[in-house]
Amino acid sequence: MAKKNDWVRIHRNVLEPEQRTGKLPEDTRKVPLEMWVKGRLQNDSAEIGDEVTITTCVGRAEHGTLIEVNPCYELNYGTFVPEILTMEEQLRAALFGGDEA
Amino acid sequence: MINGMIVDKSYQAVTGRKGEIINRAMGVDYSKYERDGIVFDYEALMNDTGYTLEDHIRIQRRYNVGNTPIFELHNLTALARKCAAPGKGARIFVKDEASNPAGSFKERRAAASVYHAKKMGYKGVIAATSGNYGAAVASQAAMQGLKCIIVQECYDSKASGQPEIIEKARKCEALGAEVLQLSVGPELFYEVLMMLEETGYFNASLYSAFGVGGVETLGWELGHQFMERYGRHPDVVVCANAGGGNLTGTARGLKKAGCEARVVAASVDLTGLSMASDEQFNRKSFTTAHTGFGVPYATDPDHSDVPRSAARPLRYMDRYVTIKQGEVFYITEALATLEGMEKGPAGNTSLAAAFSLAQEMDRDQIIVAQETEYTGAGKHIQPQLVFARANGIEMLFGDPQTEVPGVNIVFPAAPSLLKARDAGLDRMRASLIRRQATRATGPITAADVRYLAEETNSGEAYVREVLKKLGY
């Protein structure tokens, strides 16, 4: 459960598929234009999935479905990619390991 | 609500108000640059900002932008010479734009926009960008004390996002901006118009004269740095090309520094991938500096978030080459492993092209890749390749020429297989001439022809020939 002033992330459809413009590929035309934004919860309390209002960090009011409380980034450097090691070995060999490039 | 009136927020109503919204959000009346026929007075737009090159330099120094170092890449030069014919292989340099506060050259574009917004009394700035420009505007807004909203195209309909774009969202938030993320689609500009109308903030457009004028400092610095250190100008400057502002500003700055280097555009080849396609959005590994932006914006500059773009790259381009995704990743790894510099992949687009173009040039010549960009979790060769593989992209070593965007990434099986390929500059010039000619309401005049020659960096005879072939 989230309470007032918690930092949350919301989601809302800005345009439903039938409201989208004519200049779109077929696959994009079939789906809505969606929006995600973060801010402080303005409702006294809310559960994930509730329709809520927030105030963003610039002071703007937004509304949408509550999807995350205390949202965070989970970016990383990914798992091992063997091709990167192969490139490194090949480049060092090409420059320092003989005349063949 | 605006002034107590209910405002129609439908797509048609908002885009119908584009002219007045942009006018209020920039303080620029673009209609005054329109002339008879198809002519538009580009230099008047550029000169009307009230900021000279010297002003841009002063503002950028005040806000810690620019004056970035140039580095000679001795090992990459040595490797290029091993791949080249005897006597060939120009000295390769890079301008380390990653050392700007937010990590890219884009801060040159942001500085004057934010400065001007503040001077004009706007409370905040808004920019539509999934790229480094967002971090640049957020950084400058933080420094200059304005609020900032960045609108990003970020996710496909499964809410899966490019790691590179998500990293930029993180950085914008870290620098104090509100980040509004959207799913795939050109209606991003509709959302931006609504936000401008709602907030009354300044439109820090990538394509404004403030922004493109700010990049002139990059070219100007290049000219002077080479003169001071080597007593000569570079022979070729390679600029990554997407919306065209990087190349346009750099080329204008080079001219102002008296440098006559040939200016080469380089874009990552994403031919065949639709930029507005939900299903193809995550099948690309480069979200900028690619042909999906580079070609349409070069041939039709005026389809951005301003009525007339200040980024008009065909006016300054001597050559346009493409480079494959696998080649840019490869040169990114080469920069790390041979030169000890770990930088973001997209910022190495021009370097990948320079590595190939150097091999066509003499050893005593100089070629410069005019940017680098920061790297970090997400925005790095490894997570981007992991993401590509998760999206079904095959990775192999071979001839990058065989790479099919959206299907595979082909790393060069040997450094000599990395090749910049000509993108067909004449075809693009003809395309621009055709598009602009169709806007004419009467016969094409001599003034129109003169204008089209300027727009395409060609000559009046060239334009007349193209028009004749098109049936004019």
CATH number at B379 reads 3.40.50.1100
Cα–Cα distance measured from residue B383 to residue B381, given in angstroms and rounded to the nearest whole number: 6
Q: Does one domain contain both B255 and B277?
A: yes
pLDDT tens for residues B52-63?
999 999 999 999
What is the CB neighbour count within 10 angstroms for residue A3? Answer: 11
- In this predicted structure, the answer to whether residue B4 has a pLDDT above a threshold of 70 is no
Task: Tell me the three state secondary structure of residue A38.
Answer: strand
Q: Tell me, what's the pLDDT at B3?
A: 54
Residue B306 is predicted with a pLDDT of 85
Higher pLDDT, A98 or A29: A29
Q: So what's the ipTM on this one?
A: 0.95
Confirm whether B435 is domain-assigned: yes
Q: pLDDT at residue B144 above 90?
A: yes
Contact B381 A58 (CB under 8 A): no
Model pLDDT for residues A15-69, shown as the tens digit of each residue: 999 999 878 999 999 999 999 999 999 999 999 999 999 999 999 999 999 999 9
- The residue range of the domain holding B238 is 67-101+210-422
Are A34 and B415 a contacting pair at CB < 8 A? Answer: no
Q: Is residue B106 part of a domain?
A: no
Q: What pTM, to 2 d.p., does this model score?
A: 0.96
The answer to the question of residue B4 being in a domain is: no
Asked if residue B177 belongs to a domain, the reply is no
Is pLDDT at B349 greater than 70 in this prediction?
A: yes
A interface with B, Cβ–Cβ below 8 Å:
14-15, 19-21, 23-25, 27-28, 30-39, 56-60, 73, 75-79, 81, 83-84, 86-88, 90-92, 94-95, 99-101
- Paired strand residues for B2: B5
pLDDT at B288: 86
Strands (E), B136-224: 147-155, 178-183, 202-203
Q: Are B339 and B439 within one domain?
A: no
Q: Please check whether residue B55 lies inside any domain of the structure.
A: no
3-class SS of residue B156: coil
Report the pLDDT averaged over residues B358-382.
97
* Closest listed residue to residue B26, CA positions, set B210, B147, B203, B205: B203
Mark whether B305 and B430 lie in a shared domain: no
Rg from Cα positions in chain B: 21
Judge whether A70 lies within some domain.
yes
pLDDT in tens, B158-172: 999 999 999 999 999
- Total number of domains in chain A: 1
Q: Which among B441, B374, B415, B367 has a CA at the least distance from the CA of B167?
A: B374
Other CB atoms closer than 10 Å to residue B333's CB: what's the count? Answer: 24
Range of the domain at A10: 2-96
Backbone angles phi, psi at A53, to 5 degrees: -120, 140
**Low-confidence winner among B95-99, B152-156, B287-291 (lowest mean pLDDT):** B287-291
> B128 lies in a domain?
no
Task: Sort out which chain B residues have CB atoms less than 8 A from A63's CB and list them.
Answer: none
- Does B1 have pLDDT greater than 50? no
Residue A101 lies in a domain: no
**Count of structural domains within chain B:** 2
For residue range A3-14, list pLDDT tens digits in order: 999 999 999 999
Is residue B340 located within the same domain as residue B444? no
**Which of A23, A27, A32 is nearest residue B277 as measured by Cβ atoms?**
A27
Tell how strand A45-46 and strand B70-72 pair up: unpaired
Q: DSSP string of B358-374?
A: GGGSBTT-EEEE-----
Answer yes or no: do B323 and B459 share one domain: no
Instruction: Give the model confidence (pLDDT) of B410-464 as tens digits.
Output: 999 999 999 999 999 999 999 999 999 999 999 999 999 999 999 999 999 999 9
**To which H or E segment does residue B125 belong?**
strand B124-128
Find the mean pLDDT for residues B64-69.
98
pLDDT at B303: 85
pLDDT attached to residue A101 = 47
- Read off the pLDDT of each residue in B235-261 and give the average, rounded to a whole number: 98
Do B453 and B370 lie in one domain? The reply is no
Looking at the fold, whether B230 and B337 belong to one and the same domain comes out as yes
Residue B180 C-alpha, separation from nearest chain A C-alpha, in angstroms: 5
Q: Are residues B402 and B317 in the same domain?
A: yes
Give the Cα separation of A43 and A46 in Å (integer).
Answer: 7
Is the Cβ pair B411, A20 closer than 8 Å? no
